[in-house]
Amino acid sequence: MPQTIEKVSIVISKGSLDGIYPGLILANGARAEGIDADLFFTFFGLDAIHRRRQQHIKLATVGNPGLHLATWLGGIPGISSAMTRYMGRRMQKLDIPPLPEFIEMIADTGAGLYACLASVDLFGLDRRDLIEQVQGIITVGEFFQRSAGGEIIFT
C-alpha cells in the first residue's frame, strides 16, 4: 500500500514571481488535501513576506529559459514589468490570487509561515518588516525540527 504524505515543509528562496508562486501553489494544494504545510522563506524569498516589497515582486526575465526570450531581451528596461503584468492577467483569468492575497489565504488555512533567522539578520530586517501572517523568525535547526517526519520541498 502506498504511503501517504502527511506533512510538507516548503522552502522559498527566490524573490521573483516564478520563484515564489510554485511554493505557494504546493502549499495551497497540500492544505486542500488535508496535508500539514509550513512555508520557510529564506534569502530573497523573504520579499514575499516583506511588508513593503511584497506588492512589487516581478517576473524574472533575464536568463529565464522558460520565457524563451534571449537573455539580452529580458534585460531591456520595462520588459520585466510588462511580462509581470502579462502574467498577472493570465493568472487572474485562472483565478490565481495576487501574491499578498494568496499568502493570506494560505495562512488562513492553517499553514505555517516562517522567516529564516539567518536571512533576516543578513538583510538587516526584524519582525516589524514582515507581514502579520508570519508566525515566527526561526533558525534552520528549528525549521528541521518542525519538518521532522515530513517531506521538504525546495522551490
Query: Tens of pLDDT along 2-23?
Result: 688 999 999 999 999 999 999 9
Q: Is the pLDDT of residue 1 over 80?
A: no
**Minimum mean pLDDT among 28-32, 36-40, 73-77, 80-84: which range?**
73-77
Note the pLDDT of residue 86. Answer: 92
Share of the chain above pLDDT 90, in %: 85
pLDDT band, residue 90 (cuts 50/70/90): very high
Query: Tens of pLDDT along 56-84?
Result: 999 998 888 888 888 888 888 999 999 99
Query: Tens of pLDDT along 99-154?
Result: 999 999 999 999 999 999 999 999 999 999 999 999 999 999 999 999 999 999 99
First to last CA, the chain: 28
CATH class of the region 7-59+97-154:
alpha beta
Note the pLDDT of residue 66. Answer: 87
Note the pLDDT of residue 43. Answer: 98
